[in-house]
Amino acid sequence: MLEKEKVLDEGPFFHGTKAGLSLGEMLAPQFQSNYQDRKSNYIYFTATLDAAKWGAELAQGEGRERIYIVEPTDTFENDPNVTDKRFPGNPTRSYRSSAPLRVVAELATWERHSEEMLNHMRESLQKLREAGKDLIED
């Protein structure tokens, strides 16, 4: 269990992906990134359902979009890719950890973003890639 004074957020925490996992399984670093063609040094998660939806909807690969409720197994930090770079503070309540996350449940139903919002986000991400600004501090 994490020491109380080191906890940044009480959660609950979510992870959006297309990976099919079972309860009790671990999401760990050093697997393929949801967003880029490389392995990630961290596992990313959020305390907002909206951010988790983006994770599931924009994840690379095939398969059904899923949102898991996860539990950190060790300390974690604010995700520097969104905190202060894109959103002052951490309004998206986005985090990362070099330790695994335990899958404790899967949301059975959730409302996707509209196709219009998804297309706008994909176009925005494509523009960042084309400008060389889609870097992830990992």
Residue 14 lies in a domain: yes
In a domain, 76, yes or no: yes
Looking at the domain assignment, is residue 70 inside a domain?
yes
- Tell whether 45 is covered by a domain: yes
Per the DSSP assignment, residues forming a β-bridge with 32 are: 39
Structural domain range at position 100: 6-130
* Number of domains, the chain: 1
Instruction: Indicate the pairing of strand 66-72 with strand 77-78.
Output: unpaired
Residue 1 is assigned to a structural domain of this protein: no
pLDDT in tens, 61-101: 888 999 999 999 999 998 887 766 666 677 889 899 999 99
Q: Name the more confident of 50 and 82.
A: 50
Residue 103 corresponds to which tokens in the numbers above?
């899958």
What is the CATH classification number for the domain harbouring 83?
3.20.170.40
In a domain, 108, yes or no: yes
Q: What is the DSSP code (8-state) at residue 39?
A: B
Biggest alpha carbon–alpha carbon distance for the chain: 43
C-alpha distances out from residue 74 to 28, 37, 123, Å:
12, 26, 36
User: Measured between alpha carbons, how far is 67 from 12 in angstroms, rounded to an integer?
Assistant: 12
The pair of structure tokens assigned to 135 is 């870097």
- pTM, rounded to two decimals: 0.81
Flag whether 137 is in a domain.
Answer: no
